[in-house]
A and B are shown apart, each in its own frame.
Chain A
Amino acid sequence: MMEDFNSETDSDYTSYWRDWFVSSRGNEYFCEIDEDYLTDRFNLTGLNTEVPYYQYALDLVTDVFDLDADDDLREQIEKSARHLYGLVHARYIVTTRGLAKMLDKYKKCDFGKCPRVICEGHPLLPMGQSDLPNMSTVKLYCPKCEDIYNPKSSRHASIDGAYFGTSFHSILFQVYPALNPEKSMRRYEPRIYGFKVHAAAALARWQDGWREDLHWRLAEFDMTHKFIEESESEDDAFDYVEEPEGAKVDKVVAETASGRMDLGN
């Protein structure tokens, strides 16, 4: 299914510009936009005001550019084309085909791995903090810890976040809920000579209280949620202060919930 999407793109006409763009260094986060998508005017609504030399840029992206421009102008158009490609990209990746392509890249870890140690190198997804261009650079979302991180490579740090948009990663998991990773409630516990540090431990207990409240809130929607550690039979790696209470909550939740939520594994 996903392979189909990839292989059927522009079989006859080699997409020179897009091919070059996607494969050039620093653009590893982008996927290739289908020709059909780019040529459908509806998909480009509103972009003509956002991108200078819009028509030339579009021609360049779709490989029909034949203007005899001087170097200066050509550079301008080239810049516009990259900008246009990015903005269309943000729209494209939330379509069925786009999602499938990005999912493929996600599975290949093309966007890198979560730097958080407890996430054990979970693959990341690119995102922007704004849908408007020139607001902030691209960030990486970890679906496991549900937090966002800066790309570690400086060549990615300059990509505009709007080329991926704020919604993409959420939509991806709405469309493929089975891929939502199991969350972990493990955490780093700072210690000094083996003893837990009180300030950190007190905060951890307070946060654990909220985590248990989550079960109750979800029970109101007839939902249950299990962290990895809870679905495992024994939990000897980490012991929690509120463990007995947590276990009790689970039991109650199991009673009240009509159907177990399918976590997708």
Chain B
Amino acid sequence: MSSSEGAPESWISSFCSLMGHEFFAEVSEDFIEDDFNLTGLQSQVPRYKEALEMILDVEPEDDEEEEEEEEDDDDEILGDERPVEYRRAGERRHARVASDLSDIESSAELLYGLIHQRYITSRPGIQQMLEKYEMQHFGVCPRVNCNGCKVLPVGRSDTPGQETVKLFCPGCMDIYTPPNSRFHSVDGAFFGTTFGCLFFMTFPDLDIGPRLDASLASAVSRNASQPNRSPPPQVPFESPTPDDQPLEINGVRTSNFCPGLGRGKIYDSKIYGFKVSEASRVGPRMRWLRMKPRDMYELDETDIHEKMAARQGPGEFQPPGDKDGDMEMNPEQTQEMAIANRKKAPMRRRRREAGDPTPSDRMSVQGAEIG
């Protein structure tokens, strides 16, 4: 019956080409046909068998002679937002009752989504998502200081029907709402909570920071459109990290570890060039969210713990070249140091040793930033 339309698109590829479904990868039929990959889905999806048949474009064998109904019904139930492709895919199986069909259609969508969640964490699936990622199919981080870091679709829940799809930025380890409203109806569970991080752990060598050529290209285009002045001075202020940084910290390559965070990547509110003081009632309260140690060893908790346990003297593991602190700090920081004395937390003590910025240093940094 379906062959009457020539060689139609498969259900999967028509589903993935729908408006708003641009984030989906096309799950290979081999993956779906392996029953092991579908373990447990039967109980989650109503009309599982029919839905699966629909996804795989398998003709139902037994109910070929079921009564047919007029297509008007079809329109009514499917409604306006149902795209044409759906109907076309459905019409191929017009042996079914129309209302039945829309039930199965939505079941098939759900089933496909849940299979998709598993597929993109499998080897072929994650590879397919890598291609989409590299082609920037998922967009870039809206945060200014992430410099257009490419993002990945993720869910906040693995249970369908809870939240829509979000975008995970590896540069700032945060999630954002997709800018285009067409994605605001895509279920986040179809991508799952695991995918985002697993992806970057699977491809640890993937350069996630703003590439040099990319930033250059954007600078050039900006200059071309506005020939008067050079790009904003923020980028050149990024000083290199201390020399003896580990190549890898906590299983992530240092260069790929949150390139959108830390010194120079934190926004400071200013009034006429002066930073708003923390002592202001409406002063900055959220800088911690975008902080990152300049000295990556501060995140090696095991090492710190061992060294604290061994009661080694201060300065023992003070790396060279971080005289000006692990963060750009406010003048209040010195007071903080005094307060920190009272506290016993090893984290804090460690930090005090590592970075005790002198006020004059900081002044010059801030002075340079004004302008």
Which A residues form the contact surface with B (CB < 8 A)? Answer: 115-118, 121, 129-130, 132-136, 139, 141, 144-150, 152, 158, 166-167, 169-171, 173-174, 177, 180, 183, 187-188, 190-194, 197-200, 202-203, 205-211, 213-214, 216-221, 223, 225, 227, 242, 245, 261-262
Kindly list the 10 A-B residue pairs having the minimum CB-CB distance in the complex, ordered from nearest.
A152-B179, A199-B250, A146-B286, A190-B197, A211-B288, A210-B288, A216-B339, A134-B228, A173-B282, A115-B176
Tell me the smallest distance from the CB of A152 to a CB of chain B, in Å.
4
Interface residue stretch chosen among B53-61, B98-106, B229-237, B356-364: B229-237
Residues in chain B near residue A211, CB distance under 8 A: 288
**Which one, B201, B234, B272, B348, contacts A192 given CB within 8 A?**
B201
- In the complex, are the beta carbons of B288 and A170 less than 8 A apart? no
Residues in chain A near residue B288, CB distance under 8 A: 207-208, 210-211, 214
**Which one, A173, A194, A206, A261, contacts B298 given CB within 8 A?**
A206
In whole angstroms, what is the CA distance A134 to B231 when docked? 9
Residues in chain A near residue B284, CB distance under 8 A: 146
Assuming A117-B177, A170-B269, is B301 touching A202 (CB within 8 A)? yes
In whole angstroms, what is the CA distance A242 to B299 when docked? 16
Assuming A174-B271, A199-B252, is B173 touching A188 (CB within 8 A)? yes
- What class of interface size applies to chain B in its complex with A? 35 or more
B332 within 8 A of partner (CB): yes
Assuming A166-B270, A187-B174, A205-B347, is B198 touching A192 (CB within 8 A)? yes
- In the complex, are the beta carbons of A217 and B177 less than 8 A apart? no
B205 within 8 A of partner (CB): no
Tell me the smallest distance from the CB of B280 to a CB of chain A, in Å.
7
Kindly list 15 other residue pairs between chains A and B, CB separation below 8 angstroms, not including A174-B282, A205-B301.
A117-B166, A132-B229, A147-B267, A150-B143, A152-B142, A169-B269, A174-B271, A177-B282, A191-B197, A192-B198, A198-B251, A199-B251, A199-B299, A203-B173, A209-B347
In whole angstroms, what is the CA distance A170 to B283 when docked? 9
Residues in chain A near residue B345, CB distance under 8 A: 209, 242, 245
8 A Cβ contacts from B24-57 to A: none
Interface residue stretch chosen among B1-9, B71-79, B289-297: B289-297
Residues in chain A near residue B168, CB distance under 8 A: 188, 190
- In the complex, are the beta carbons of A183 and B286 less than 8 A apart? yes
Tell me the smallest distance from the CB of A82 to a CB of chain B, in Å.
14
- In the complex, are the beta carbons of B142 and A203 less than 8 A apart? no
**Which one, A135, A207, A242, contacts B289 given CB within 8 A?**
A207
* Binary interface encoding of chain B residues 253-267 relative to chain A, with 1 for a CB under 8 A from any of its CBs, else 0: 000011001000001
B285 within 8 A of partner (CB): yes
In whole angstroms, what is the CA distance A141 to B271 when docked? 14
Residues in chain B near residue A167, CB distance under 8 A: 270-272
Tell me the smallest distance from the CB of A213 to a CB of chain B, in Å.
5
Tell me the smallest distance from the CB of A103 to a CB of chain B, in Å.
14
26 A-B pairs whose Cβ atoms sit less than 8 Å apart in the complex: A115-B177, A116-B143, A116-B175, A116-B177, A117-B175, A118-B175, A129-B144, A135-B229, A147-B144, A150-B143, A187-B289, A191-B197, A192-B194, A198-B251, A199-B250, A202-B250, A205-B301, A206-B291, A206-B347, A207-B288, A208-B288, A209-B348, A214-B285, A216-B339, A217-B335, A220-B336
In whole angstroms, what is the CA distance A202 to B297 when docked? 11
In whole angstroms, what is the CA distance A242 to B343 when docked? 13
B156 within 8 A of partner (CB): yes
Residues in chain B near residue A210, CB distance under 8 A: 287-288, 291, 327
- In the complex, are the beta carbons of B145 and A148 less than 8 A apart? yes
Which A residue's beta carbon lies closest to that of B261?
A203
Tell me the smallest distance from the CB of B219 to a CB of chain A, in Å.
11
- In the complex, are the beta carbons of A147 and B196 less than 8 A apart? no
Tell me the smallest distance from the CB of B368 to a CB of chain A, in Å.
15
- In the complex, are the beta carbons of B269 and A115 less than 8 A apart? no
In whole angstroms, what is the CA distance A113 to B250 when docked? 34
8 A Cβ contacts from B285-321 to A: 285-293, 298-299, 301
B95 within 8 A of partner (CB): no
Which A residue's beta carbon lies closest to that of B279?
A221
In whole angstroms, what is the CA distance A242 to B251 when docked? 23
Assuming A139-B144, A217-B339, is B269 touching A146 (CB within 8 A)? yes
In whole angstroms, what is the CA distance A52 to B18 when docked? 50
Among A121, A188, A203: residue with most chain B CB under 10 A: A203
Which B residue's beta carbon lies closest to that of A202?
B299
B249 within 8 A of partner (CB): yes
Tell me the smallest distance from the CB of A189 to a CB of chain B, in Å.
9
* Binary interface encoding of chain B residues 141-165 relative to chain A, with 1 for a CB under 8 A from any of its CBs, else 0: 0111100000000001000000000
Which B residue's beta carbon lies closest to that of A223?
B279
In whole angstroms, what is the CA distance A133 to B228 when docked? 9
Residues in chain B near residue A261, CB distance under 8 A: 281
- In the complex, are the beta carbons of B285 and A225 less than 8 A apart? yes
In whole angstroms, what is the CA distance A202 to B249 when docked? 10
Residues in chain A near residue B217, CB distance under 8 A: none
**Which one, A141, A174, A193, contacts B280 given CB within 8 A?**
A174
B127 within 8 A of partner (CB): no
B85 within 8 A of partner (CB): no
Residues in chain B near residue A194, CB distance under 8 A: 193
B64 within 8 A of partner (CB): no
**Which one, A117, A158, A174, A193, contacts B156 given CB within 8 A?**
A117
Tell me the smallest distance from the CB of B242 to a CB of chain A, in Å.
16
- In the complex, are the beta carbons of A146 and B271 less than 8 A apart? no
- In the complex, are the beta carbons of A150 and B173 less than 8 A apart? no
